[in-house]
Chains A and B, each alone.
Chain A
Amino acid sequence: MIELRDVAFAYEDAPAFTLAHLDLDVAAGTIMGIVGASGSGKTTLAKIIAGFIPSTEGGTYRGTASVAGAVLSEGTLTEAVDVVGLVTQNPFNQISGARFTVREELAFGLENRSVERSQMIERVNTVAATLGLTPLLDRSPYALSGGQMQLVAIASMVVMAPPVLVLDEPTSQLDPAGTRLVYDVLGRLSEGGTTIVIIEHKTELLHEHCDAIAVLAGGRIVSTGTPASVFADDRLSTWGVGQTRITQAAREARTRGLLPATEPLPVGVSDGAAVFGTNGETR
């Protein structure tokens, strides 16, 4: 669904390329998590997949990024946004500023696509309900908390039902309940065939919800694989990505001779329970 081939980008006046020789494949209907240290190029990658680079950003762009068979840099941004919805890092910047209520904000994109009114109302109500925004529909988007604004920014993209969704740290301001709500929605969209790319620092969440993980370091993809294999990789911290506390504990237990070195390192609570449960029985 998403194919990046030898993609490179340098921002105007920047001394170096932010991304270089980058290849990435995301299969249709899957959820791909992108991890990497701050400054590794994650947000730039998100903008490339969404077609905002090179259309709206000056600089040097090379390579080919295609989504659903179309090469984004050969089309217009309007064509790109029909295929890819981008939820940006700071929800404050995503609110249109042109609408007075959350309801109008959520309908904004649909209005611009001339969606029929009754259908528009139904779609806005459905998405608002799944993300717990119904009580906020008549509030001003600017009178919301950071977490609520983040949910509105996500809803405003989900309501457009694009075949590809790219989300740049979508749950940074959400509590665990709000975060779960978002991942549940993404899971359902993926089951329905939406391809999802999500940039996130929360390793445990990505392990639970993604089909594949790509690690970005120094502007390149340095590792791809299943969440279990990538997050247990010894090199993770050298790429500036945190391991979960369970992986850290298992590693320490291994060093202290309490867990066999042959056992894969656990990442989450369920695989952690399997490893520490089996090996923890009194001998």
Chain B
Amino acid sequence: MNDLTIRIEALRHTYESGVEAVAGVDLTIAPGERVAIVGQNGAGKTTLVRHLNGMVRPTEGTVHIGDWSTSDKSIAELSHRVGYVFQNPDEQIFARTVESDVAFGPKNLGFEPEQITESVTSALEAVGLAHEAQVHPHHLSLSERKRVAIAAVLAMRTPIVVLDEPTTGQDEGGVRLIASIIDDLTARGITVVAITHDMDFCVENFERVVVMARGTVRADGSTEQVFADQPALEAAAVEPPQLARLARVLGWSETAVDPSSFVDAFERRRRG
């Protein structure tokens, strides 16, 4: 387990355009926790998490990664603690081969040569792209480039990993692969913070959900609690997962978020 608590206190961020994207957020994430952040486009999710690796700096308030205030550290320093996977892989990928792109982070973090080789190989294996190591990233599909971007961050072996919309463009197998990568990160004590619009992915892979709207946190709690909080979901225009919507139409009081627990609830009801 890593020992870095993420502490966000009274955070505000206003862009030069005058748009206040984060409007007073307090959030603490314990080491090894996995947290999903959900909310509409423009709710401030990406701006909030970009504070974690210093790409965006607080206008007001503070962000701490363990004992470091992000206001005092460079992006390069923060990259020892926080790995960040961009929503659009093309903003992140730049090297001429998949392998050299994934090796860029570990090299810059000062890994020894054999450590670089080992971390790049295992990261590419984790995302199922070991066979594409020598390929130019632009010869890969968008969903594969997304997995290259994830590998590039895994290879850095940071104690905290931030994923901005990791399942975008992934097919069923790709989504399952990403879920297993997150399981593996958790098993190694790594903190995972992910932004997602995919509510099925969210309920099946995260114990804690933070709902954002208009730059603020509208709900924060266990997945079951949050998806039972209808007023907060409506205020944030977050659509509950499909089975939760069906349960509501059926007039059930319980929120069953995965197929098995839904069928269990159905069976209980049938028995009366």
Contact = CB atoms under 8 A, between A and B. Distances in A.
Interface string B34-61: 0000011110001000000000000000
Interface stretch (B1-9, B93-101, B165-173, B223-231): B165-173
B227 to A, nearest CB: 13
B1 to A, nearest CB: 32
A226 interface: no
Contact of A273 (B143, B168, B175, B249): B249
Contacts of B259: 245, 248-249, 252
A269 B245 contact: yes
B90 A174 contact: no
B41 A178 contact: yes
Interface residues of A, number: 48
A245 B168 contact: no
Interface in A42-72: 43
B40 A177 contact: yes
Interface string B229-272: 00000000111011101100110000000111011001101111
B173 to A, nearest CB: 6
A174 to B, nearest CB: 7
A280 B87 contact: no
A246 B246 CA distance: 8
A130 interface: no
Interface in A150-201: 169, 172-178, 201
B169 A89 contact: yes
Contacts of B197: 174-176
Interface in A78-93: 89-90, 92
A283 interface: yes
Contact of A145 (B46, B267, B272): B46
A195 B205 CA distance: 38
Contacts, number: 126
B270 to A, nearest CB: 6
A172 to B, nearest CB: 5
A169 B241 CA distance: 20
Contacts of A172: 168-169
A38 B170 contact: yes
A218 interface: no
A175 B88 contact: no
B189 interface: no
Contact of A176 (B144, B239, B250, B269): B239
A18 to B, nearest CB: 11
B242 A204 contact: yes
B200 interface: yes
B142 interface: yes
A38 B144 contact: yes
A264 interface: no
A39 interface: yes
Contact of B172 (A143, A242, A276, A279): A242
B171 A242 contact: yes
B246 A201 contact: no
A145 B47 CA distance: 11
Nearest to A236: B172
A119 B45 CA distance: 38
Contacts of B271: 282
Nearest to A249: B259
B249 A90 contact: no
Interface in A19-56: 36-39, 43
Interface in B71-94: 87-88, 90
Nearest to B17: A143
A147 interface: yes
A146 interface: yes
Contact of A246 (B171, B172, B239, B242): B242
A277 interface: yes
B242 A280 contact: no
Interface of B: 17, 39-42, 46, 87-88, 90, 141-144, 165, 168-175, 197, 200, 237-239, 241-243, 245-246, 249-250, 258-260, 262-263, 266-267, 269-272
22 contacts: A90-B88, A92-B90, A146-B87, A172-B169, A174-B41, A175-B39, A175-B41, A201-B170, A201-B171, A201-B172, A242-B175, A246-B242, A249-B260, A249-B263, A253-B263, A258-B263, A268-B242, A269-B246, A269-B249, A280-B269, A281-B270, A282-B270
Query: What 9 pairs between A and B have smallest CB-CB spacing?
Result: A242-B172, A282-B272, A147-B41, A249-B259, A176-B239, A248-B259, A273-B249, A249-B262, A38-B143
